[in-house]
Chain A
Amino acid sequence: MEEIDEYIRKAKTLPPAPKILPQLMPLLKQTDVDSAKVVELISFDAGLTAKILTVCNSASQAGGQPVSNLHEALLRTGFAEVFRIVAKVVGEQTLGSAQTGYGLGKNELWEHSAVVAVAARIVATDRGLDPNVAFTAGLLHDVGKLVLTEALEGSYERLVEETEKNQQALVEAEKTVLGVDHAEVGGRLLSQWAFPKPLVDAVSWHHDPIKSTENAPLAACIYLANMIAAFTGHSFGHQAFAIRGRGEALQILGLQGDELPMYMIKTVDEFAKVSLLAAAA
């Protein structure tokens, strides 16, 4: 744990904590959401508020009058949808920059994360897990890479050697080269940022879900969503496919494995819609 904290402390640039997400997440569980509370939390951020209204309006062009404030946006699209828009805006701010230590160009980590979020929601909905927690965990699953990218600068050859010659997954190669990996660092960061435990666990174990004692299904959901992103052409950077296939992740979710292609097709279709939304905003 100390080594992980040391990396977090040493990182030159950390994204600002997406404080709003852990504050909004508990409200998702309520059947009757107090919209005054939501508006209070969101309206602190004028840029965020403006983006929500733009996205709501571009999504509901066919639906008559444009929305002009957050109250209307909540009424029109519902809190779950507003939450997803907030998560996307915050996610883009957090993950949009290039992560050269991983060979990731501008927006590549963000695109990957957005697809994992969409895929995680699809899998979660199908397997009876909380789709909102899955979506948010998917969005933030690689946040640890922001901490480790600098330490990995110039280690490309060693990473390739560990993955190709020694048959290590990228996450295992990180551990060999740095002593820590992006999954545990990400989990730690999210825990410091006060995200709920299931989400922290899912991020910490998204490469090895069976090791999560309390939240293995959610971790397996993020594991599978990460695979789906790779198989649908949304994984980038050095040795993007140095991921270990874990059949037990399917078992944890009660899947046979032949569901995977359908999840992939659904993810491609769903992401096309989401991207159109983003382009309109």
Chain B
Amino acid sequence: MPAPSLAALTGFDQKLIVGVADMAVSNNPSVVLATYSLGSCLGITIYDPVTKVGGLLHAMLPDSSIDPAKAATQAAMFVDTGIPALFRAAYQLKADKHRVQICVLGGAQVMDASGFFSIGKRNLETLKRLLSQHGLSIRAEQTGGMVSRTVTLSVRTGEVKLKVSGVKEETIIWKK
């Protein structure tokens, strides 16, 4: 028999931190997926409320064509390779494509008239194009602006929370 997890022993949820250009999926109800400091990067959460499977992707750049070798080893770096990788990982845990609730955070944008620094905007455009190609819609979205965001997804409840850097309070952005 496996040893009981720390969460089971203490009753506390365990936070699983997803770094930049990384992703994670889980069906363990005591796991809270979290990613810090989403600036122009996108944080995408998916959650299947029936099988209670959650996933979180922290993608940095829109398009993998600039570095296919990188995309092959670290799909989560790019929106266009990270999204399919996130869904595939969630399917392994019996998530259903059309049941998952999708939330999107991040995509902050600097004050840029030149267009050279519009990474946040391009990340969002790529994501929305990709989701609509697959007939998927976004349940809740907190994107753009000039702030850095932290997001958490509770695998137990599917609740998605947002914290803005420099602001104390958390807000709930999605709850079934």
Docked complex Cα distance between A232 and B147 (Å):
14
Counting chain A residues whose Cβ lies within 8 A of the other chain, the interface size class is 35 or more
**Closest residue of chain B to A163, judged by CB?**
B146
The answer on a CB contact under 8 Å between A233 and B39 is: yes
Contact with B along A162-205 (1 / 0, CB 8 A): 01100101000000000000000000000000000000000000
A26 within 8 A of B: no
The answer on a CB contact under 8 Å between A241 and B119 is: no
A244 within 8 A of B: yes
Distance from B58 Cβ to chain A, minimum over Cβ atoms (Å): 7
Residues of A contacting B120 in the complex (Cβ-Cβ under 8 angstroms):
241
B79 within 8 A of A: no
Q: A163-B146, A236-B148 are in contact. Are A241 and B109 (CB under 8 A)?
A: yes
Q: A163-B146, A237-B165, A240-B165 are in contact. Are A230 and B60 (CB under 8 A)?
A: no
The answer on a CB contact under 8 Å between A242 and B20 is: no
Docked complex Cα distance between A242 and B115 (Å):
15
B67 within 8 A of A: yes
A250 within 8 A of B: yes
Residues of A contacting B111 in the complex (Cβ-Cβ under 8 angstroms):
167, 169, 242-245
B41 within 8 A of A: yes
Contact with B along A235-272 (1 / 0, CB 8 A): 11111111111110010000001101110110010000
Contact with A along B142-162 (1 / 0, CB 8 A): 000111100000000000000
Pick from A235, A238, A261: contact of B37, CB below 8 A. Answer: A235
The answer on a CB contact under 8 Å between A261 and B114 is: no
Residues of B contacting A164 in the complex (Cβ-Cβ under 8 angstroms):
146
The answer on a CB contact under 8 Å between B112 and A244 is: yes
Docked complex Cα distance between A164 and B164 (Å):
15
Q: A156-B166, A169-B111, A245-B116 are in contact. Are A239 and B39 (CB under 8 A)?
A: no
B110 within 8 A of A: yes
The answer on a CB contact under 8 Å between B116 and A241 is: no
Pick from A167, A238, A245, A268: contact of B117, CB below 8 A. Answer: A245
The answer on a CB contact under 8 Å between B114 and A246 is: yes
Docked complex Cα distance between A260 and B63 (Å):
13
Cβ < 8 Å to A, chain B residues 53-95: 58, 60-61, 66-67, 70, 77
Q: Please indicate which of the listed interface residues A167, A234, A261, A262 has the most CB atoms of chain B within 10 Å of its own CB.
A: A261
The answer on a CB contact under 8 Å between A241 and B70 is: no
The answer on a CB contact under 8 Å between B113 and A235 is: no
The answer on a CB contact under 8 Å between A240 and B61 is: no
Pick from B66, B110, B119: contact of A244, CB below 8 A. Answer: B110
B40 within 8 A of A: yes
**Closest residue of chain A to B168, judged by CB?**
A103
The answer on a CB contact under 8 Å between B67 and A231 is: no
The answer on a CB contact under 8 Å between B21 and A241 is: no
Distance from B132 Cβ to chain A, minimum over Cβ atoms (Å): 24
Docked complex Cα distance between A237 and B166 (Å):
5
The answer on a CB contact under 8 Å between B60 and A103 is: no
Q: A233-B36, A245-B110, A262-B67 are in contact. Are A240 and B147 (CB under 8 A)?
A: yes
The answer on a CB contact under 8 Å between B117 and A242 is: no
B1 within 8 A of A: no
Q: A235-B37, A265-B67 are in contact. Are A245 and B112 (CB under 8 A)?
A: yes
The answer on a CB contact under 8 Å between A232 and B165 is: no
The answer on a CB contact under 8 Å between B110 and A227 is: yes
Pick from A156, A230, A238, A258: contact of B39, CB below 8 A. Answer: A230
Distance from A119 Cβ to chain B, minimum over Cβ atoms (Å): 13
Residues of A contacting B166 in the complex (Cβ-Cβ under 8 angstroms):
102-104, 156, 236-240
Docked complex Cα distance between A217 and B163 (Å):
37
Pick from A103, A104, A227, A261: contact of B66, CB below 8 A. Answer: A261
Q: A231-B119, A232-B60, A236-B165 are in contact. Are A247 and B39 (CB under 8 A)?
A: no
Residues of B contacting A250 in the complex (Cβ-Cβ under 8 angstroms):
116
The answer on a CB contact under 8 Å between A241 and B147 is: yes
- The 9 sampled A-B contact pairs (Cβ below 8 Å) are A104-B166, A233-B36, A237-B165, A238-B166, A244-B111, A244-B112, A245-B117, A247-B115, A262-B67
**A positions within 8 Å CB-CB of B:** 102-104, 156, 163-164, 167, 169, 227, 230-247, 250, 257-258, 260-262, 264-265, 268
